[in-house]
Amino acid sequence: MPRALRPHDPGPSASARRAPLAALLSLGTCLFGLACAPDLPVSQRIADARILALRSDVIVPLFPDDEPADAGTRCEALPFETVRVTPFMVEPTGVLDIAGPDFDPIWIACGLGPGQGLFACLRAAVPLELDELEECPVPSFTDIDPSAMALPEYPSPCRLPDDGSDDGRLDFVAPFAANLLLGGDIELTMISQGPGSPSTRECAEAMLSKAADLPNDCIYAVTRVSVGPIEKLLSFAGMFGFDLPPELGEVPDPEDIPDGDRNPRISSFRVTVLDPEADEALELGELPRGAVVKVKRGQTLEIDTETPAHDLQTYPVPINNGIGGTGSELQTERIDGSWYRTWGRLLSGGSDDRQAFNQWTMRKGEQDADELPPDGRATLFYVLRDSRLGVDWWWLEVEVEP
């Protein structure tokens, strides 16, 4: 079965930053309709190479001095800002090295219209020849021509150029295009070879040709990159002298422009080892991402995580999808945490609180083959999402002694 992201759909309230004109959008990261992997292992067990999340970070903001010091990075970009997209790839032996030879992604951008769901853009365009895909241009302020009748067009779909690095991540510049003013977004599709799969090119050609059976072990994922907030886009258009259609509303005052959507942060990850035989608890305290600890078979790791309360942003949501000009109401982001493990038993596969708790017991789980993990090592992964596009993750590795 092709490897793909598990579905994540924050629901209608995720349309927060769109103008009343736009229909509510369902944001997040999702599977292709043909690769929703209903046979994935139960209990969030990692049995083979999988991608758990894609994270967007604005790494070159237009106005760096305006970025709050104590806040997560923005995942919602302004036009002409540089965005970095990082995949979180895992396998039964731990975190997959995305800079290694088993991962070699290509990226395809497509312009989503208002109200369109993920993969709607590229799905409508296939079948396509990979070599005939236009290369996405690198947007620049020099593209802006106020005397033009419309904003520059961003080709859709197009293949994003190599960013010059071999770290498995993608850096690209966010465009300024007409579909974004109307409440659209950028649909970003990632295609890669995986361990033991055909080449990335073969994986891409199969998907773009609408092949009935995709190659086993290929990695496919699609996510939404938001460019906005739309109030800022209207301000941009007004600043460059474009005549806006009256249905888009007035250019907002600067104080009425909300902050862009930001990634939440896992600010605390505390671990305590419980030994039921000795009736003892050993506090390991705060552990960094990727920490390795030694435990004995039968012991339980008690995990407490925390996300700062101010990381959950408040944002306006159009009332009744904006129909009738009834205004908007404020909502606060919600937390959706998912736990995965390569071996052992988890108390819970999910959490919905910024102060999350779980227990990971070093005993053979229902789908584990042996009484000890392979090579005596197992890994726990935690993926944190808010109810819009924000995401963060953590992982912990254990060496299990008999």
pLDDT in tens, 157-179: 999 999 999 999 999 999 988 88
* Residue appearing with tokens 């999808």: 321
Terminal C-alpha separation, the chain: 34
Instruction: Specify the CATH class of 268-401 in words.
Output: mainly beta
Q: For residue 124, how far is the Cα from the chain centroid?
A: 22
**Could you tell me if residue 38 is left (phi over 0), alpha (psi between -120 and 50 degrees) or otherwise beta?**
alpha
CA dist., res. 221 & res. 191, Å (int): 7
Evaluate the CA torsion angle 293, 299, 301, 302 in order and state its sign: negative
- Tell whether the model's pLDDT for residue 141 goes beyond 50: yes
- For the chain, give every domain's residue range: 3-256, 268-401
Q: Which two tokens stand for residue 167?
A: 């770290």
Return the higher-pLDDT residue of 233 and 129: 129
What is the average per-residue pLDDT within 12-25?
25
In terms of C-beta density within 10 A (0-12 exposed, 13-18 middle, 19 or more buried), how is residue 280 classed?
A: exposed
Return the higher-pLDDT residue of 321 and 218: 218
CA dist., res. 321 & res. 282, Å (int): 52
In terms of C-beta density within 10 A (0-12 exposed, 13-18 middle, 19 or more buried), how is residue 329 classed?
A: exposed
CA dist., res. 100 & res. 223, Å (int): 23
* Widest CA span in the chain: 78
Q: Which two tokens stand for residue 262?
A: 């930001």
pLDDT in tens, 108-132: 999 998 888 999 999 999 999 999 9
The residues with which 187 forms a beta bridge, in sequence order, are 110, 224
Sheet holding 350-351, edge to edge: 291-296, 391-401, 377-386, 335-341, 350-351
Q: For residue 73, how far is the Cα from the chain centroid?
A: 13
Element spanning 329, H or E: strand 328-332
Pairing of strands 345-346, 355-361: antiparallel
pLDDT of residue 12: 28
Say whether 63 sits in a helix, a strand or coil. coil
Residue 221 DSSP symbol: E
pLDDT in tens, 35-61: 333 344 455 899 999 999 999 999 999
pLDDT of residue 194: 93
CA dist., res. 54 & res. 194, Å (int): 16
Using 50, 70 and 90 to split pLDDT, how confident is the model at 282? Answer: very high
Nearest-5° Cα angle at 329, 383 to 334: 15
Q: Which residues contact 38 (CB under 8 A, 6 or more apart)?
A: none
Q: Which two tokens stand for residue 274?
A: 């419980």
CA dist., res. 170 & res. 10, Å (int): 24
